[in-house]
Amino acid sequence: MRRSRDGLSTAEVGERTAAGRVNSVPTATSRSAGEIIQANVFTLFNAVVGGCFILLLVLGQWRDALFGLSAVSNSLIGIIQEYRAKRSLDQLAILQAARNMVVRNGAREVISSEDLVPDDLVLLNAGDQVTADLLLIGNSPLEVDESLLTGESEPVPKQDGAVLLSGSLILAGNGQATVLRVGPETSAYRLAAEARRFSLVTSEIRRSLEKVFTVITWLLLPVALLLTNAQMQDQGGWGGAMGSGRWVPAVVGAVAGIMAMIPLGLLLMTSVAFAVGGLRLARQKVLIQELAAVEVLARVDVLCLDKTGTLSSGSMVFDAVHHTGDVCPPGWRRAVEWFGASPDASSTAAAIGAAFPAEIPLTEQDSVPFSSARKWSSVTFAPESAAPGTWVLGAPDSVLGSPGCGKVHGMAVALASTGLRTLALAHLPGPLPPDAAGTDLPPELVPVLLLTFRESIRADAAATLDYFRRQGVTVKIISGDDPRTVAALARGVGFGTGTAYDARTLPGDPLLLEEVVESQDLFGSVTPSQKRDLVQALKRRGHTVAMTGDGVNDVLALKEADLGIAMDSASPATKAVARMVLLDGRFERLPAVVDEGRRAISNIERVSLVFLSKTVYATVISVVTGILLLAFPFLPRQLSALDGLTIGLPAFFLALQPGGQRYAAGFLRRSLTFAVPAGTCTALCVLAVSAYGQLWGGHSLASAQSAATITLGLVAAWILVMASRPLNWTKVLILAGMYAGLVLLFSLPLTQDFFRVEWPPSGLLAVSVAVAVAGCLAIEIVGRFTRRPSTPARGTGLGPLALEPDSREGDGGTAGQRDGPAST
């Protein structure tokens, strides 16, 4: 290790730079842009949809290929969403852009932090950020803030030979250090390496939809073969079909069947609901970095909070004065004012200055600055001044060392045990002895009083925590600070009365760790890796975990949590990893975020009933048609029209409706509980009308298809009515528009020609309407038996959905307005 006062030479810097030993780090994530496009475009699902789309275009049936637009939209949404997450991770930086003062060739120069090389001689001053791992040299002690790395808000004293970790901040003092490690070898980079690993937020809705799409995709090929054979037989058999050109309608019918099975718009509507939720939250200064994060917070049952920067602002505030005797020497207040007015970089001095402001501080005769070795500072005033004598302010262990201070020292220990930062003020009538500037104070020093300080608690913290408790969300405070400090702050926000668990005694066995994290709510002295381990233990216990934080020490836990939430004061690395950022740092935003998540997930579940019902009835119709060798009841364009009228456009508006209930797990099970019987009823109605029109009524294929279209339109519309309950004026207008659209579809010459529909003969029309009414009644019965009793929240119940009722009462307003700390 080089310790020359001249630093490195130009040749030595060039040698290290040529070898790649510079303080820059790679930023690429695990997936490139090309890999993202490939993963979202070249899927089995897209292959089926794209193949059918191209086939119809080749056959000149472009009017029946409208479904291709939905497939393109789905792929674009996936690509954009994942690429945004990739960019956020690529830009992850533990260290702020900084410049360093170094000594090279015997002269000082300022360089970029990326140009540092091993053995560089770095000059450090208060306020500097450490941008590489350094080794402190010389006898100048430093006060270092390592809270970004460890979560410990207390300044850490550093002496000659100590290692300064990258990402820490120099609070007080100045000195020299040599560069120990750079780039990927630094502690900051190693901490961020796992954070850069790409992953999407865990979304139950997304997982459920992927299961549905997977099952449907594997059903498509056998159903397509069945349908193609049935359509060919309906066109007169395979023999001679190629020459007569009758195979084209057969292919179109088969494509209509398999495309009807695919809920193309469901993923689109899901993304729209999430995107609108993100826009609404953006107006409240909440940045959503991944759409599905809106859903996750709606089902979180454990919220882990970092103390510093989340519940507290990280700054110190004055707590109280504790007198140590009956009589205090005159002038103690003026002495305290002087300490508060001194140009000290510590937050404690700033708190003293705020509590004891001095218009004109006294002029001192002598003073001893604070150092981590002494742990005290002093000031001496003239005998004729308002505060004669010497005043010493510092840590009780250092100031109250004389034998006569035992009682006062006990008071200080008791106060410190409550988590308060405690300083002792002592007085000496005359000046300090010449040798007292070392570490030992004279025994004649008389204790005057104790000053206590506490961390500044966010004004919105207590009410927000109370909101989550009322909502059944377990809150756990996980901090790198001393357990006593954590417990004191928790009491300050009305969170428990006990002590915090010391993470230094956490068990290594995973099962024992799970038991501890389940039973304890307060943790202190937690390392960054332990925060991650605690989150993993909670997830293994089946919890959905959200984690808030603002320091680099929170990065691993934020990455591991189901939902990471960063505060506005967070480091760039923390914001890059988090899925959600509170841009104005207002903790009270979270209740409104929960409410928005509930709105989104409730509307998506409502919309999924309609789409999944369509998948069920399309599958049943296709299978039965294929087995019985019947002509498929619809053209693809007719299904596209019905999808737009009874599913697409109404679902779009329903996905934007306000309100929502407390989420209960089991999204897919609840949706299918209604969709399977409702879809089966719909399929039976359509098959009955189609069979009557083609086989027994003696009607043309066009009339039978039109009658089946009317039946499906009416029954599918009633499914939408069920999903929309209870109705309000907005929903009534949406449903009225849907029915009006059905009438116009069969009445306007342009739509009649384009979609090849017509009003069927009166007898067939009566049959189709009667069967549709019977189907609607059957679906009404299905809805009553498949829904669990629940009290809708704010008049936006979800019909057959089995969402748990919100614990709140009343009507109107949002979660943040009624139960949160303040209107948001």
* Inter-helix orientation angle 264-282/68-90, to 10°: 40
For the chain, the 3-state helix, strand and coil shares in percent, each to the nearest 5, are 50, 15, 35
Q: Label the pairing between strands 175-181 and 133-137.
A: antiparallel
**Looking at residue 148, what is its pLDDT?**
60
Structure tokens at 276: 């609108």
Q: pLDDT averaged over consecutive 10-residue blocks of the chain (824 residues)?
A: 69 87 63 70 70 73 63 67 58 54 88 86 81 84 70 70 81 82 77 55 72 80 77 56 55 68 71 71 76 75 80 78 79 90 69 86 86 79 91 86 74 80 89 70 86 81 84 86 81 76 91 93 86 93 88 77 82 71 79 78 80 87 82 75 74 61 71 90 92 78 87 88 78 83 88 85 91 93 69 34 34 33 30
From 120, 306, 319, 806, the catalytic residue: 306
* Rg (the chain; Cα; Å): 35
Cα–Cα distance measured from residue 55 to residue 57, given in angstroms and rounded to the nearest whole number: 5
Beta strands in 672-719 (DSSP E): none
User: Which pLDDT score is estimated for 816?
Assistant: 34
Report the alpha-carbon distance of residue 521 to residue 536 in Å, rounded: 15
Instruction: Report DSSP letters for 454-466, one per residue.
Output: EEEEPTTHHHHHH
The closest alpha carbon to 418, from 472, 455, 447, 385, belongs to 455
Amino acid at 378: S
Residue-wise DSSP of 589-652: HHHHHHHHHHHHHHHHHHHHHHHHHHHHHHHHHHHHHHHHTPPPS--HHHHHHHIIIIIIHHHH
* Phi, psi torsion values for 803, nearest 5 degrees: -85, 140
Q: Considering only CA atoms, which of 662, 675, 654, 672 is closest in space to residue 719?
A: 675
DSSP 165: P
Residue 65 and residue 70: Cα distance in Å, rounded?
10
Rounded to whole angstroms, the Cα distance separating 677 from 666 reads 18
What CA–CA distance (Å, rounded) separates 565 from 310? 10
Tokens matching residue 369: 């600055």
Pairing of strands 421-428, 163-164: unpaired
pTM of the model: 0.63
- The DSSP bridge pattern shows strands 545-549 and 501-502 to be unpaired
* pLDDT attached to residue 752: 84
Q: Decide: 362 and 159 in contact? Cβ < 8 Å.
A: no
Sign of the CA dihedral 363, 368, 370, 374? negative
Enumerate domains of the chain plus CATH numbers: 10-25+94-193 (2.70.150.10), 204-278+595-806 (1.20.1110.10), 286-311+459-585 (3.40.50.1000), 313-457 (3.40.1110.10)
Residue 418: partners with Cβ closer than 8 Å, 6 or more residues away? 484, 488
Closest of 609, 705, 675 to residue 64, by C-alpha = 705
Active site residue 306: yes
The confidence score (pLDDT) of residue 629 equals 76
**Could you report the per-residue pLDDT of 740-784, keeping only the tens digit for each?**
888 898 888 888 888 888 888 888 999 999 999 999 999 989 888
Distance CA 70, CA 54 (A): 14
List the beta strands (DSSP E) in 139-183: 142-145, 156-158, 163-164, 169-172, 175-181
Sheet holding 175-181, edge to edge: 107-112, 99-104, 121-124, 175-181, 133-137, 163-164
> Of 313, 437, 460, whose CA–CA distance to 377 is shortest?
437
CA 118 to chain CA mean position, Å: 38
pLDDT at 66: 60
Amino acid 96: pLDDT: 44
- Distance between CA atoms of residues 434 and 466, nearest Å: 56
